Chains A and B, each alone.
Chain A
């Protein structure tokens, strides 16, 4: 009788597992494609591909049940299967070097997928002609920002990803005497003026006093954005500054003073500040003559990077992005009568991995083909030589008399 570990090893190295993974991936790809109609691209990929399990919410209950393995789980199993089978079955010899290289390429391809799903950050930079911007913003993620505006020259910005507020009671702001007590968080909601007859708001300060928050289910379609909100009570050295409602659906930041410092508090799109500034010098939206059909969108920007002593102009246009300090800036959209340009900014530490993986797979197949071809050619030569020898041996000998 086989030991349990032998059984696991047999399963993890079996070709059937590979087939099962590939079939599951086919199902996931079809389901994800259909779901994009209802959830949008981002929502469907998140639910079907980036998660370990695909969950189905049971209507009328708070329960969800897993109905499919998610893309992350399937790829993890496939990766384990690929490596284990390689280790178990393939011999370490030059004769199999092509297979090794091709498998290495596949491993790198799947690993690249993991790196992208976990580490890629997609943000946007919306900039008007003549404007200078030193940050990019996430179009979907929000942040709770506490800004110390006391210094006349600079602001200290403390950013907390809004999603991390769920289930948290308080967030201590490092390096300050401020603790933000989270008294409520809504990933998506509607805001409206409070009506007569409604009870008092949870907020005791700012516009939240006269605002009603109606929780809504989160949205994920490409054209929709969540209106996130939170009731936050700042405590400065233990003293309450009242409870404030913050939301990206609200207006300007709200401010309070304590301990000789002035703080602003707000919810907004998650920002990442850059160590350089981008200025939009000119945006162009060219059309084919006599038509409204777009010919070209381009943004002429100036990059000012004091840390490098660099100040240069760059033209970003369709399919010609700017790659700079680990980020890629693509021309994505425009507006405001062609005076506003929106650049999609992608940061993916694993962006080269699929390219290297594809090269390795092709190289591995070529090497293996070459090795097999050489072996076949040598065998053919040997067969030809043997046949020639045999023919010689069988030919009637001439006898000289």
Chain B
């Protein structure tokens, strides 16, 4: 009888220990939040993912010497933004489909390997591992620091190509990327590399 009691108590305890959890729908009726009572931004350690604030992960707008600038090659144009998350959209004077963008994201933006594999996926290439990343990376010195440059071309009849540079400046990841039809990208590549080489910090007034 003593054993039975003991085993029953142990079983109940075990069931109790495993049964906890909050998976159901909770309902709160709360006063409307005034715009000023939006939750405060947190310190960096707590805010790896930004607070809700805009449409897409809002591109931080680095100010002062944390912001980068560059020299446009002859015939190129640029506009600020261009789509959600973009810092700038550039247009190269070459025929064919081509897209050139500058994007800046906080932190390491998921890491270099993840971003490179995302780029490769965009032109239909399989992902690479850390060793593959190392062999594909070409360091390029700029006035803003050393930048990792990648150049990938897809297989198949309609070849697509991507040339992109990635740099970490003051805790922000900067991506300068050119992608499109392989022929058009190849034609604009030299100018693009000159643009990447010209990357530098904004002059602080």
Query: CB within 8 Å of B: which residues of A?
Result: 5, 9, 72, 76, 79-80, 83-84, 87, 114, 118-119, 124, 126-128, 131-135, 137, 139, 149, 152-161, 163-164, 171-175, 190-193, 195-198, 207, 210-212, 214, 216, 222-227, 248-253, 266, 268, 273, 333-336, 340, 342
Contact = CB atoms under 8 A, between A and B. Distances in A.
A299 to B, nearest CB: 12
Interface string B48-59: 111011111110
A173 B29 contact: no
A155 B37 contact: no
A253 B52 contact: yes
B10 to A, nearest CB: 5
Given A250-B52, A251-B53, A335-B41, A193 B27 contact: no
B126 to A, nearest CB: 14
B43 A139 contact: no
Contacts of B20: 118-119
Contacts of A253: 52
B46 to A, nearest CB: 6
Contact of B32 (A83, A153, A252): A153
A5 B2 CA distance: 12
A235 to B, nearest CB: 15
Contacts of B31: 134, 153-155
Interface in B1-29: 2-3, 6, 9-10, 13-14, 17, 20, 22-23, 25-29
Contacts of B180: 196
A191 B106 CA distance: 13
B42 A342 contact: yes
Interface of B: 2-3, 6, 9-10, 13-14, 17, 20, 22-23, 25-33, 36-37, 39-50, 52-58, 83-86, 97, 99, 109-110, 114-115, 118, 121-124, 160, 179-180
Given A193-B83, A210-B83, A223-B45, A154 B52 contact: no
Contact of A76 (B14, B44, B121, B124): B14
Contacts of B2: 87
23 contacts: A83-B9, A118-B17, A119-B20, A154-B32, A155-B32, A156-B29, A157-B30, A193-B56, A193-B83, A193-B85, A196-B180, A210-B83, A211-B56, A214-B110, A225-B48, A227-B49, A251-B53, A253-B52, A266-B52, A335-B41, A335-B42, A340-B41, A342-B42
Nearest to A335: B43
Contacts of A227: 49
Given A159-B26, A225-B48, A333-B42, 11 more contacts: A9-B3, A87-B6, A119-B20, A127-B40, A134-B30, A158-B26, A193-B56, A193-B84, A210-B83, A252-B55, A340-B41
